[in-house]
Structures are given as structure tokens and as C-alpha cells.
Amino acid sequence: MATFVIAIPGTFTNGISGSSRGALRRELAPRHTDLSESEGLDLLTVLEDDTFSVRLEVEAPDRYEAKLRATSLVSHALREAGIPEDEAPLGPPAVTGMEGEA
């Protein structure tokens, strides 16, 4: 198993309110580990054009599984924050870092 840092882009098609943004950050907070905090990793970045990027860490045996787990976690966090899937379509995940052996 290895720890992977995965970036997942997306777009808020109807924008995002401050309360929804806060709820999403709270849902993602458990994925903010000592490693990501020490590296200054920002879990959620939202740009002025309502595009966003989520960066989180996942434990997985390989890159493929890491991408699947990260996408599932982000989809779940969006739902739990009350953001419908069709209002925040996700782009393809990318591995941006890795620690350990995969």
C-alpha cells in the first residue's frame, strides 16, 4: 500500500454558496492528514469561474485504485454537502504525488 495525492478537477455549474463551500470543506477535512498539512496541501480550491480542484490523500495498492477511491470520496463529499452531482461534474483524476511503495 502507498499513500497517493490525487487531484480531481470539476466545475460548479450553478456556482457555489459560502455555506455549501464550508460544508464541502468539512466533508473533506478527514482527508487532510499530517502529510498533506505539512506539505501545505489545500484540499479545495475554487476559482472565480467556478472551476474547482480537490486534492486529497488516499491509501491504495496502485494508481488506478487510488484514482477510483479519490473520485468516490469526492463524489460522496459533494452529496453530503448537499451539492447535486449534475451541479458539480468531475473531471479525470490525476496522481500528483506518492509516498511509499505501490
Kindly report, residue by residue over 55-100, the tens digit of the pLDDT. 988 999 999 999 999 999 999 999 999 999 999 999 999 998 888 7
Q: pTM of the predicted model, to two decimals?
A: 0.88
CATH code where residue 61 lies = 3.30.70
CA 10 – CA 33 distance, rounded (Å):
22
How many angstroms separate the Cα of 72 from the Cα of each of 18, 47, 101? Answer: 23, 22, 22
Residue 29: which domain range?
Answer: 2-100
pLDDT tens across 8-52, in order?
Answer: 999 999 999 999 999 999 998 876 655 556 556 678 999 999 999
When divided into structural domains, the chain yields a total of: 1
CA 67 – CA 39 distance, rounded (Å):
20
Give the dihedral sign, CA 96/42/1/27. negative
